[in-house]
Structure 1
Amino acid sequence: MTDYSTKRKKYFLQIISIISLILILFTISVKFKNEKVNAFTKSKAEVVLEVDSGRVLFTNNENQRLPMASTTKIITAITAIENADISQDVRITSKTCNVEGSSVYLKDGDIFTLKDLLYGLMLRSGNDCAESIALFVGNTRENFIKMMNSTCKKIGCENTNLTNPHGLPDDNHYTTAMDLAKISAYAMKNVTFCEIVSTKRVTVTEKSQNKKRVFVNKNKMLARFDGANGIKTGYTKKAGRCLVSSAKRNGMQLVCVVINSPQMFERSEELLNGAFCEYSYVPIINSQEMEQFCSLQGFALATVNNSIFYPLKKGETIKCEYEIYNFKRLPLKKGEIIGKISVFNKNSLLFSENIITINRVENKKIFGIIKSRLSEYLTEKYENKQISCALRGCQP
């Protein structure tokens, strides 16, 4: 009886031990999972923005002024591209070689094209490239910094101030997640900028000795995220890990900014996937359709400058209103504005698009036909109608 009781007790203790071990492992697993999720959401500031419309899809602490490390180089690059011929040769001087932080190890006397230096700037985050570009494009470093700040003001960034071309720490060097998103969206509309930041790997030539060098992009999003096409990583101890990423799916181009984010790639993926799932890119105005409808014997009469798409959530609706102007003077020149289409969400104006003549309009009869065709098309398309989003199924 005693042996039986002892065996039973041992068996019971073994069962308790196994259950305890399972509970401990489960607790560790859950704790790790929660810590991982918390790490993903621990950015100090975040913004997701649709590039073409400028619609802001997500924000978190978007207006706090913060250091942004090497994401500064987005402004350096677009300022250089807009103010210089990037095919020009740049001779490196000793003034710009020895810069602290990340470097591509330029040497005094090296010769690169400005475009190749931009690759070194945006793919390898070379601070020496930043200083070399600033000196070449601005003639002086100080003048180039002024040019960079002017670029920001032109875009409408009121909470950004720059004191250097690379993002090394300075108390007066700062931006906000919202400003950085606006700057990045602006830059992503430039073809040359897009070509550079979407490049995973490039071979450049140092011309004084005809040496080839390979630059590999540090932005892991290009390899790991479907549709990724840019743009810049950044890190300093003061700024933390920063990432501006971009991706395009089903015609919708997004920019995502995370500032001071320990898991910047994972968090950016999470935000971008969420935006692509929650919003659909809906056609609002089709320029080719309007042009075909507003034609006379194959002769195009009027249309809008650009087809317009807009990101909408499921169940969200917008309304379009139109106006066609009266003209007493004729003829009308090609490209003359003869009307306007306005797009509203609830009662807030989202944007307006001008209706223009495609060819010269010589007389009242032709203009009368234009007005009639436009009225028929726009009434059918927009009169007392709302455009809504039927969201596609998505797979993050």
Structure 2
Amino acid sequence: MKLTKKLMRAFLIITLIISFSMPQVDASSQPFNINAKSAILIDSATGTVLYEKNIHEALPPASVTKIMTMLLTMEAIEEGKITLEDKVVVSELASSMGGTQLYLEPGEVKTIEELMKGIAIRSANDACVAIGEHLAGSEDLFVQRMNERAKELGMKDSNFVNTNGLPEDGHVTSAYDISLMSKELLKHKEIHKWLTTWMDEVVVGKSQSVQQLVNTNRLIRFYDGANGIKTGYTSAAKHCLSASATRGNTTFIAVIMGAPTSPIRFSEAAKLLDYGFANYSSVDVVKKDTAAGSVPVEKGKLLQVEAMPKEDLKLLVKKGEEGTIDHDVILPQYVQAPIAKGEKIGEVIVTVNGKEKARVDLVAAEDVGKASIMDILSRMVRKFVGR
């Protein structure tokens, strides 16, 4: 009997030690659960994470991969490396892709715009390979660039093996990383016309058959403000989605990975977006195209120079706290010529409830050279005559 009590006491002590040594999860830390392997909700403007579930777990993303393919294409367009009218010759490799496709034929010629339409709306695997080969010379080289860009964006959980997300060992990313590349893609205004298209068509093949394109993202049609981004499915990845929506001044991105069914991925993404819009608001605090003031220029060709914010600044606050945002413009009494356009001459300090949240540099709106002797004499004359 005594031995039994000792054993019971020892078992109880061991149980307590084990329970205290295990990481304790705060069940109240999240407002609700999401029916998926991982999920995240972020504010697109600031990147603020509003909901998370296993956000750094590396998982197969299926066709959500195509966000990176589209991003690199849009960046190449904006850098002037390619245009939407560029002709792309479809290779044997591109035409051999299985899964969802445009049924492109070897030797067929398509424009970048037609291929991007196929990727964004239908999620065409063959179009991804064709674009990758056109941009980098081969799919392998394009995939290298995908991984390089992922590192540049801080995507530490990702490794891309192909352009389209078809199943391959080692092809993984995370909900957090998807939110990063989604946020970057949405900065490109041209992409929005395809991401928000519900139905379109493209002509393909020697027979010039018309392929009807229907957006794989049903939220585009049924969710208020939906404007992207990409669905994905394989048997290993299950049902994935990066969804974005904008209402007023606020844009949220919700990522779902490994949902058990397609309807669930859409309903869970909508749940995340609803939560964001119900509880948070994005406020424009500083706009880079609006002068914050002007500064006198000593011995300059101009008497003063406008101080422009170096960049836009938005803040995400809880609903009802918009009035607690304040900002102070800090400018010197004067600046000494010469002043170069873009040179820092002040800053804006932004506070919420009296606590500093951000700073934005104020820069000179234009070049201001030193005044010549003739400039100074001319001012003296005008000043004298004006008396």
Q: TM-score scaled by structure 2?
A: 0.75
Q: Provide Cα deviations, 1:320-354, integer angstroms capped at 9, x if missing partner.
A: 46544687741212332111224456898754321
Question: Aligned to 1:142, which of 140, 143, 159?
Answer: 140
2:295/2:332 contact within 8 Å kept: no
1:241-390 equivalences in 2 (<5 Å): 241-262=239-260, 263-286=264-287, 290-291=291-292, 294=294, 301-314=306-319, 320=327, 323-324=330-331, 329-343=336-350, 350-361=357-368
Question: Aligned to 2:102, which of 78, 101, 104?
Answer: 104
Q: CA deviation at 1:64?
A: 1.1
- Counterpart CA distance in 1 for 2:355 and 2:234 is 41
- Tell me, yes or no, if structure 1 residue 71 matches structure 2 residue 64: yes
- Counterpart CA distance in 1 for 2:355 and 2:106 is 57
1:40/1:267 contact within 8 Å kept: no
* Structure 1, gaps ≥5 residues long: 1-38, 365-396
Q: CA deviation at 1:358?
A: 1.9
Identity of aligned residues (%): 28
Q: TM-score scaled by structure 1?
A: 0.74
2:295/2:305 contact within 8 Å kept: yes
Structure 1 counterpart of 2:299? none
* Structure 2, gaps ≥5 residues long: 1-31, 297-303, 372-387
- Counterpart CA distance in 2 for 1:343 and 1:175 is 35
1:17-32 equivalences in 2 (<5 Å): none
Question: Aligned to 1:52, which of 45, 49, 65?
Answer: 45
Q: Provide Cα deviations, 1:188-227, integer angstroms capped at 9, x if missing partner.
A: 0012222221222223344966654432211101000000
Q: Secondary structure at the match of 1:340?
A: strand
- Counterpart CA distance in 2 for 1:96 and 1:285 is 46
Q: CA deviation at 1:40?
A: 8.0
The two structures, once aligned, show a CA RMSD in angstroms of 3.0
1:153-168 equivalences in 2 (<5 Å): 153-168=151-166
- Counterpart CA distance in 1 for 2:207 and 2:332 is 64
Q: Secondary structure at the match of 1:247?
A: strand
User: Which has a greater percent of helix?
Assistant: 1
1:202/1:215 contact within 8 Å kept: yes
- Counterpart CA distance in 2 for 1:252 and 1:328 is 37
- Counterpart CA distance in 2 for 1:249 and 1:305 is 26
Q: Quickly say closer, same or farther: Cα 1:207–1:172, change in 2 above 3 A.
A: closer
Q: Quickly say closer, same or farther: Cα 1:260–1:322, change in 2 above 3 A.
A: same
Q: Provide Cα deviations, 1:131-177, integer angstroms capped at 9, x if missing partner.
A: 22222211011100001111111211111110011112223111111
1:41/1:267 contact within 8 Å kept: yes
Structure 2 counterpart of 1:219? 217
2:340/2:366 contact within 8 Å kept: yes
- Counterpart CA distance in 2 for 1:329 and 1:98 is 65
- Counterpart CA distance in 2 for 1:195 and 1:144 is 24
Q: Secondary structure at the match of 2:187?
A: coil
Q: Quickly say closer, same or farther: Cα 1:139–1:57, change in 2 above 3 A.
A: same
Q: Secondary structure at the match of 2:97?
A: coil
Q: Secondary structure at the match of 1:169?
A: coil
Structure 1 counterpart of 2:122? 124
Q: Quickly say closer, same or farther: Cα 1:347–1:177, change in 2 above 3 A.
A: farther
Count of residue pairs brought into register by the alignment: 325
Farther off after superposition, 97-106 or 301-310: 301-310
Q: Provide Cα deviations, 1:226-249, integer angstroms capped at 9, x if missing partner.
A: 000111000011111000011100
